[in-house]
Amino acid sequence: MRGTDDIFKKRVERFQKLLRENEIDGAVIRTLSTYIYFTGTKWLRPSLIIPAEGEPIAYVVKREGERFREKSWIENVVEFQKVEDLMAGVMSWIAKNGYHRVGLEFGVERDAYLLFLKLFQRLNPSVEVVDIFDLTMRLRMIKDEWELENIRNAGKIAQKGMKVAEEVINPGISELEIAAEVMRELMLSGSEDPKVYVSTTPRAHAEPFRDLRVEESGVVTVVIGADWNHYYANMARTFVLGDPGGMVRKAIEIKEKAYEIALEETRIGVSLASVEKKLANFFKENRFGDAYIAGYTHGVGLLIEEPPIATIVVPQRAQKVQENMVLTIIHSPLMIPEGAIKHEDTYIIKKKEPERVT
């Protein structure tokens, strides 16, 4: 297991306190990132039960139990051979304890499917299902020192990947070939689940295509999410080849100034919405208002993009900046005809000034 038992036990205890305060009898954790947060390990088809009081229970496939115990601090491990056995185990746990309110995390990650929710409700018609997403993210949003050190290490790996991107980007190479070279470097450096996006056309967070190639004069934007002990750092750069024109040069200049504004304004106690408004006005004043995609920042941690997700969840822009949040600045690209102009780094929010990770 990566990290001490005490780290994860204390997380569960804090979460159980939140469950009790919200009169929730227990929670079924199916989202992988939250599963990692509490167990200390990633596992395919995650299934973890955390009662409001008592020891958590992990369900794993038959013959996985021994390996799981080596990777996690949790002692109560139940093996199942059929999915029906897993569901029966959860139902038995609910019935045996007389639970009436059970938490599920309504996320968008793998295994947190609407199908599972519907099945759960059908099998447990008398149980009230409560969304615990805000509770888990309240814990995860502020990082402890062990988490921050993992993110710093991830940042070093991300920078190595970006150096490879800079070296391999040449006219004629495909987006997929660039991504493959970067991915190889990230994995060899210890990143177990890296994310690499490459765009030679105006696309934000672009999945690379094998049939899109670098032009003699154009721009290439590379976005990297590298992880260490499951914690991510996120960075993005735009590379310019030849002379793609004055619009590109101007967009890069404006983007760099916006980056400085965002970094200066993102301080403890400030709302993300207020920074967002200043950036939107700045781009509008400089005639790039139509090119700016709103949402200048997002959290980084066990996911490359996690709360506060000011990029896609508008209400979370009301979130105020807190110490030991980990945020990307400045997430949004400028979408111009020549391509997506982007410069993004990961920062740890500190009292004096943000600590740059990438």
State the average pLDDT over residues 145-170.
98
pLDDT for 341 beyond 80: yes
Amino acid identity of 55?
Answer: E
- Of the two residues 69 and 115, the one the predictor is more confident about is 69
Residue with tokens 């993009």: 305
pLDDT for 112 beyond 70: no
Cα pseudo-dihedral 284, 286, 288, 289, rounded to 10 = 0
3-state helix, strand, coil in the chain (%, to 5): 40, 20, 40
Helix (H, G, I), strand (E, B) or coil at 290: coil
Given a contact cutoff of 8 angstroms between Cβ atoms, the answer to whether 157 and 231 are in contact is no
Helix (H) or strand (E) holding 262: helix 246-265
Q: Which range, of 112-116, 147-151, 200-204, averages the lowest pLDDT? A: 112-116
pLDDT for 1 beyond 70: no
pLDDT for 113 beyond 80: no
d(CA 225, CA 233) in angstroms, rounded, equals: 6
d(CA 234, CA 299) in angstroms, rounded, equals: 10
Residue 10, C-beta contacts closer than 8 angstroms, at least 6 positions apart: none
Q: How confident is the model at residue 311 (pLDDT cuts 50, 70, 90)?
A: confident
Distances (CA, A) of 63 to 39, 175, 237: 18, 41, 45
State the average pLDDT over residues 145-172.
98
Helix (H, G, I), strand (E, B) or coil at 7: helix
Residues 204-233 as b or e (16 or more Cβ within 10 Å = b): bbbebbeebbbbeebbbbbbbbbbbbbbbb
pLDDT for 156 beyond 60: yes
Phi–psi pair at 95, nearest 5 degrees: -65, -45
- Percent of the chain exceeding pLDDT 70 equals 97
d(CA 259, CA 343) in angstroms, rounded, equals: 8
Domains along the chain? Answer: 5-140 (3.40.350.10), 145-356 (3.90.230.10)
- Percent of the chain exceeding pLDDT 90 equals 81
Interval 195-233: pLDDT, tens: 999 999 999 878 999 999 999 999 999 999 999 999 999
Given a contact cutoff of 8 angstroms between Cβ atoms, the answer to whether 310 and 334 are in contact is no
d(CA 204, CA 221) in angstroms, rounded, equals: 9
Q: How confident is the model at residue 86 (pLDDT cuts 50, 70, 90)?
A: confident
For every residue of 114-133, DSSP letters joined together read HHHHHHHHHH-TTSEEEE-H
d(CA 159, CA 155) in angstroms, rounded, equals: 6
Residue 55 CA from chain centroid, whole number:
28
Amino acid identity of 170?
Answer: N
For every residue of 14-47, DSSP letters joined together read HHHHHHHHTT--EEEE--HHHHHHHHSS--SS--
Q: How confident is the model at residue 115 (pLDDT cuts 50, 70, 90)?
A: low
Q: Which range, of 118-122, 123-127, 204-208, 272-276, averages the lowest pLDDT? A: 118-122
State the average pLDDT over residues 180-195.
98
Angle ∠(325,331,337) on CA atoms, nearest 5: 180
Q: Sign of dihedral through CA atoms 102, 107, 108, 114?
A: positive
pLDDT for 65 beyond 90: yes
Averaged pLDDT of the chain: 93
Other CB atoms closer than 10 Å to residue 341's CB: what's the count? 25
State the average pLDDT over residues 337-343.
95
Distances (CA, A) of 224 to 103, 108, 116, 325, 352: 33, 20, 31, 20, 27
Interval 245-285: pLDDT, tens: 999 999 999 999 999 999 999 999 999 999 999 999 999 99
Q: What's the confidence (pLDDT) of residue 144?
A: 96
Q: How confident is the model at residue 331 (pLDDT cuts 50, 70, 90)?
A: confident
Q: How confident is the model at residue 34 (pLDDT cuts 50, 70, 90)?
A: very high
Residue with tokens 């007389």: 98
Other CB atoms closer than 10 Å to residue 1's CB: what's the count? 16
In this structure, the strands spanning 345-348 and 355-356 are antiparallel
d(CA 87, CA 27) in angstroms, rounded, equals: 14
State the average pLDDT over residues 160-169.
98
The pTM of this model reads: 0.93
- Of the two residues 112 and 282, the one the predictor is more confident about is 282
- Of the two residues 74 and 205, the one the predictor is more confident about is 74
